[in-house]
Structure 1
Amino acid sequence: MNFSKRTYWLFLFPTLLALLLVLIIPFGQGIYYSFTQYNGFEVSAFVGLDNYKNLFSDDQFVYSLWFTAGFSIASVIGINVIGLSLAMLVTQKLGRISTLFRTVYFMPNLIGGIILGFIWQFIFLKAFTGIADLTGLDIFRGWLSDTETGFWGLVILFVWQMSGYIMVIYVSFLNNVPKELMEAATIDGANIWQSFWKVKFPMIAPAFTISLFLTLSNAFKVYDQNMALTSGGPFGSTEMVTMNIYNTAFKVQEMGYAQAKAILFLIIITFISVLQLYITRKRETEL
């Protein structure tokens, strides 16, 4: 028994050491630096809660919080609706075409955020301008030079990237829905909508919980797409929280203040994620 315990801890030790060095110690240092004036090289003063107090009077940071919240809501809805729709499509009996569709829809998720940002930047700046010149529709002009269209540009990019990944999660649950249930619903006179809402959706409710958690947490943490597509412009109007924190740390060199922003952002994300999991899991039992 003692040999088994020693073996257990022997194999677990490298993982625990890595967690300690890479996660726990840096996290503790980050909390400490958030109470100081730190420029990345030295701590010049201990300021207590001043960094946290200044957050609420930082107009750009507060704006980026609201902008990120709006982006997350729009993205979560779009990704889950499109992801579920794609999953419903590829689970139809289409033979090898279904496998082809799954591959094509999942491929955007394999592309890095920076590359995706530049791809869609080309589409919005070049392709949309070409469409505007051909059709005379001004709606396609200046998509990244305006706050509203820049916002929707970011949403489109993120939805396009994540929908295929979320589709795979829904597909795995849809494939496990017993065919007998669907046949019984059809015999009882249920139409397509009733069969989906009353039979399929309760069966895939856990997939909705997982997908909502993944899309919500990833939407709040977007940085590379934001940097590559709009760089926060025009004039910081499309700057998300992660970019605001990065700019504060590495451009303004106020790393202590940036760390305070990061800690507050972590608390917000954790609270929202836990609340979402509680509500959706409670909803699962009701379904």
Structure 2
Amino acid sequence: MSGKAIRRWWALFALPTFAAFVIGFLVPFAMGVYLSFCKFSTVTDATFVGVSNYQNIITDPEFLHALVYTVLFTIVTTVVINVVAFAIAYMLTKAIKGSTLFRSVFFMPNLIGGIILGYIWLLLLNGVLAHWGRSITFSGVYGFWGMVLLTCWQQIGYMMIIYIAGLQGLPGDVIEAAAVDGANSRQTLFNVTIPLMMPSITVCTFLTVTNGFKMFDQNLALTNGAPSNSSELLALNIYRTFYGRAGFEGVGQAKAVVFFIIVAVIALIQNKLTTSKEVQA
């Protein structure tokens, strides 16, 4: 098809995708925002109640606890996952015997579903903690570090693949020039390799930040918020409010809107910060 014909009929080809986007995203999103200002049990019996649902969020100590808990969890997992994944990728791009096998082994946990991983790690962690008469649900601290271990174990391999692709795409002449100028391996890593790797770092930090905030299935399987909802992340708190408390569907929907705004703002800030480093590099 000629370029002239494409310019003439582009709207016809774009229409199915645009219609799917409107029906599958824009309409449900707009309805969700509207329902956050309503009291309802189904979408057909919604009654507008103003900002009372959002007022309930502010006075809900469990939501505030889940928010702080999720922020801390996201910070820890983002740092650990990216540092370890980059270190493994850096080592596996060197001339190491069996590096292909190691890449496959590290990536395999990402192929397992979150619910299954949650139950597997529940058995493993409870088996270890049983020696001290404890379980993963003994306290929110135990649940926190259990979820950190689970999430890091699952996601490090995926981020490693992205970092390996970035490292393999680095311009070799720049690395060679640094070596000719007398830079040692540490100077080359921090002053040449990492600045050139900022596009990959941007992608990986974006994914780990959003994954940390959105984590639900592992939290549900590993601790289910126990004890007393002290190990509850935001996604699980919203789910429990919406489906576990009759008459609070509007509050749960309002929490979902606030959740979306928080994740969107943090993701945009993180993306802006890391992208600015790319420009400097």
**How many angstroms does 1:127 deviate by?**
4.2
Structure 2 residue corresponding to 1:88, chosen from 78, 87, 90: 90
Paired AA for residue 119 in structure 2: F
Q: Deviations over 1:5-36 (max 9, x none)?
A: 56422222221121121111111111111111
**How many residues are aligned here?**
278
Q: Deviations over 1:172-201 (max 9, x none)?
A: 111122333333323333222111001111
Structure 1 residue corresponding to 2:273, chosen from 272, 276, 279: 279
Q: Is the 8 A contact 2:241 2:251 kept in 1?
A: yes
| 2:77 alignment counterpart | 75
Query: Is 1:99 aligned to 2:92, yes or no?
Result: no
**How many angstroms does 1:146 deviate by?**
1.7
**How many angstroms does 1:237 deviate by?**
0.3
Runs of 4+ in 1 over 4 A off after TM superposition: none
Q: Is the 8 A contact 1:144 1:153 kept in 2?
A: no
**How many angstroms does 1:41 deviate by?**
5.6
Gaps of 5+ in 2: none
**How many angstroms does 1:94 deviate by?**
2.0
SS in 2 for 1:43: coil
Separation (CA, whole Å) in 2 of partners of 1:20 and 1:127: 49
Query: Is 1:157 aligned to 2:150, yes or no?
Result: yes
TM-score by length of 2: 0.93
Q: Deviations over 1:111-152 (max 9, x none)?
A: 1100110110010012443xx3xxxxx4x8433322112101
Q: Is the 8 A contact 1:36 1:43 kept in 2?
A: no
Paired AA for residue 19 in structure 2: L
Structure 2 residue corresponding to 1:36, chosen from 35, 38, 44: 38
| 1:170 alignment counterpart | 163
Aligned sequence identity (%)? 39
Q: Is the 8 A contact 1:232 1:239 kept in 2?
A: yes
Gaps of 5+ in 1: 133-137
Q: Is the 8 A contact 1:147 1:234 kept in 2?
A: yes
| 1:256 alignment counterpart | 250
**How many angstroms does 1:84 deviate by?**
0.3
Separation (CA, whole Å) in 2 of partners of 1:181 and 1:2: 43
Structure 2 residue corresponding to 1:189, chosen from 182, 189, 195: 182
**How many angstroms does 1:55 deviate by?**
0.9
